[in-house]
Amino acid sequence: MAVDFNIMVGGEAGQGVQSVGAILSKAFARGGLHVFADQDYESRVRGGHNFFRIRAKTDGLPAISLELDMLVALNKETVDLHVNELKAGGVIIYDAEQTKITTEGAGYFDVPFVRLAQETVQNKLMSNTVAVGAALGLIDYDFNLLSVVLEQEFARHGEKSVKDNITTARAGYDFAREKGKAFTTPKIHPQKDSKRRLLLNGNEALSLGAMAAGCKFVAGYPMTPSSPILEYIADKGRQYGVVMMHVEDEISAMNMAVGAGYTGVRSMVATSGGGFALMVEGLALAGMTETPVVVVLGQRPGPATGLPTRTEQAELFFALHAGHGEFPRALFAPTNTADAFYTTVKAFYLAEKYQTPVLILTDHHLASSYATVDPFDLTKVEIDRGALLSDAEVKNLTDYKRHAVTASGVSPRALPGQGKALVVTDSDEHDEAGHMIEDAATRNQQVEKRLRKLNGLKREITPPEFHQVDGAETTLLGWGSTYGAIREAAALLEQDGKPVNTLHFSQIWPFPSDVVSAALKKAKKNIVVEGNATGQLAQLIRRETGQSVDGTILKYDGRPFSPHEIIDRLKTEVKTW
């Protein structure tokens, strides 16, 4: 039977919401279920309200559900805020002694998290593990899977920690099995053909993509939602040959990455809108000096500091137009966790092949949500360094011209110190040899040479994914992290006998005008669903195809779309649908 089980863990910052959520997610993933888990937290270290929302399913669309089967409440506020999200028959698990929740009755299950932890291992701090055990006990989940996850999670803290965690989890599990018989919560069983999948978030997938692609230099200044990329690479890079420098500001980070790129290593920066604003001059420098660099822009709501720990898709135009002057770029917006890995690999390839910056737009929702994915196939990551000259070719190369004018616009690339070739480049307009010029003819040649690279880039772009359904008169269009929500909305509408097509962009620039233009003609109504207030994709489509869409469903409250919200708003906001 198809499983679609939704559980939320809520509490204050500092109470361990994230770790409870992570362990539950892993236990489901190890049982062969697809997991999608998003996080909601405030821009503070202690207090406030946080939640971790997990969806365990037999199919893998990465979308949230606003209807809960179970709420694990580590404080009273969690119940107050989310009790209305419970489905009929849903259950709240809480510790009455700690949370002072006095409401009782149908759906409330009091589990003494702290007391059980104290009684079994004499350590109150393990109360969260009791909660995990109780949640899984109530749905009859396989305890061995939890046991395996706890072993992996706590191994680095030593044998005692592993043992105590398993003991306390067991106490919660047994308590729920014994005292929770009256609850009608669905029983969740591991999938028989359980296949090993990775459970990771967008930032982690992107970091792995960068490392697989041979990124060797990263510079950054921490900023939500991209800081975990810097942290992950700083940690793993020591062993895998990647240098991550935490530097004085984003201006420095960008110029360092460009300096490293010029010298010949694949390099990257990762930031959010405010940090990217500081990087913009450096982005143009990469364009002018024809230096490969990959820029990760993890969007969050703006303008200015905005809602630092929430999500939005309002920087499409910013990323597309950032930088003074005109230069070629590619712009990608991965649609899900697996796409974040493969798109990052492609970004490094294209940056080097076309010797120009490539931008990856993620957002908080993609960056920090966990999803199960099939293990990345590293043997499929091909490394092609484009027009990079070999050591033998450069050894005795004199009179080298870094910016030689070619038909493709791409110049053969030597690296400083590689051989006798002197590699000269300039942020001033320059001649083929890289020296500053003022004359009009050379200026024209170099502008045209750089922009010719767009012709090649255009051919590299994977067009948007078009799902056409028989009888559909409407197409829902989207880009980036809304993929799961839009695809699930389409599936639900089809079940309802009101099928829609979907057209979803992962690779946005150079804009695949012909494909989009043709797709727009396949439906009577084209509706763009995007996480901003002005309909940036809708505007871009009009600009690039000359065709207007028929409506937009926009969201800018800092929260991700759910499939049901899309359906509801399609019905209420889009006239004549």
Partner 1 sequence: MVTTKDYTSDVPIAWCPGCGNFGILQAVKKALVDLNLEPQSVLFVSGIGQAPKLPHYTKGNVFNGLHGRTLPAATGAKIANHNLTVIGIDGDGGAYGEGVQHLLAASRRNVNLTYLVHNNQVYGLTKGQASPTSDLGFVTKTTPLGAGLPLNPLMLALASDVSFLARGFSGDIDHLAGLIKAGITHKGFALIDILQPCVSFNHVNTFAWYKQRVYKVEVDYNPADKAAALLKAQEWGDRIPIGIIFKQERPVYEDSLPQLKDMPLVKQPIEPTKIEALLEEF
**Closest distance to partner 1 from the beta carbon of 401 (Å):** 13
Does 200 interact with partner 1 (rule: CB under 8 A)? yes
Q: 357-363 and 507-509: which strand pairing?
A: unpaired
Alpha-carbon gap, residue 328 to 27, rounded angstroms: 45
Closest CA to 506 of 383, 341, 380: 341
Q: Which stretch binds partner 1 (CB under 8 A): 68-76, 107-115, 251-259, 529-537?
A: 251-259
CB 135 within 8 A of CB 72: yes
Alpha-carbon gap, residue 120 to 134, rounded angstroms: 14
Q: Which stretch binds partner 1 (CB under 8 A): 84-92, 180-188, 234-242, 471-479?
A: 234-242
Q: Which stretch binds partner 1 (CB under 8 A): 6-14, 48-56, 255-263, 534-542?
A: 255-263
3-state secondary structure 168-232: HHHHHHHHHHHHCCCCCCCCCCCCCCCCCCEEEEHHHHHHHHHHHCCEEEEEECCCCCCHHHHHH
**In whole angstroms, how large is the CA radius of gyration of the chain?**
26
Q: Which stretch binds partner 1 (CB under 8 A): 7-15, 161-169, 203-211, 327-335?
A: 203-211
Closest CA to 207 of 360, 100, 71, 98: 360
CB 241 within 8 A of CB 409: no
- x/- binding map, residues 267-306, to partner 1, per CB under 8 A? x-------------xx--x---x-----------------
**Closest distance to partner 1 from the beta carbon of 96 (Å):** 36
What one-character-per-residue DSSP string does 50-103 give? EEEEEEEESS------S-EEEEEESSHHHHHHHGGGEEEEEEEEE-HHHH----
Does 243 interact with partner 1 (rule: CB under 8 A)? yes
**Closest distance to partner 1 from the beta carbon of 122 (Å):** 31
Does 27 interact with partner 1 (rule: CB under 8 A)? no
- By CB atoms closer than 10 A (0-12, 13-18, 19+), residue 385 is middle
Does 24 interact with partner 1 (rule: CB under 8 A)? no
Does 222 interact with partner 1 (rule: CB under 8 A)? no
Only one residue has tokens 């990455």, namely 257
Amino acid at 373: V
Query: Could you say which residues in the range 415-454 bind partner 1, by CB under 8 A?
Result: 415-417, 419-428, 434-436
Interacting residue with partner 1 among 76, 115, 163, 236 (CB under 8 A): 236
Q: Which stretch binds partner 1 (CB under 8 A): 63-71, 171-179, 258-266, 359-367?
A: 258-266
**Closest distance to partner 1 from the beta carbon of 149 (Å):** 12
Cβ proximity to partner 1, 243 vs 533, nearer residue = 243
Interacting residue with partner 1 among 139, 176, 260, 270 (CB under 8 A): 260
Query: Could you say which residues in the range 328-357 bind partner 1, by CB under 8 A?
Result: none
Alpha-carbon gap, residue 312 to 198, rounded angstroms: 26
Interacting residue with partner 1 among 258, 295, 351, 485 (CB under 8 A): 258
**Closest distance to partner 1 from the beta carbon of 211 (Å):** 5
Cα angle: 89, vertex 91, 93; to 5 degrees: 170
Cα angle: 381, vertex 369, 252; to 5 degrees: 70
Cβ proximity to partner 1, 99 vs 267, nearer residue = 267
Residues at the contact surface with partner 1, assessed by CB under 8 A: 198-200, 204, 208, 211-214, 216-217, 219, 236-243, 245, 247-249, 251-267, 281-282, 285, 289, 375-376, 378-379, 381, 383, 415-417, 419-428, 434-436
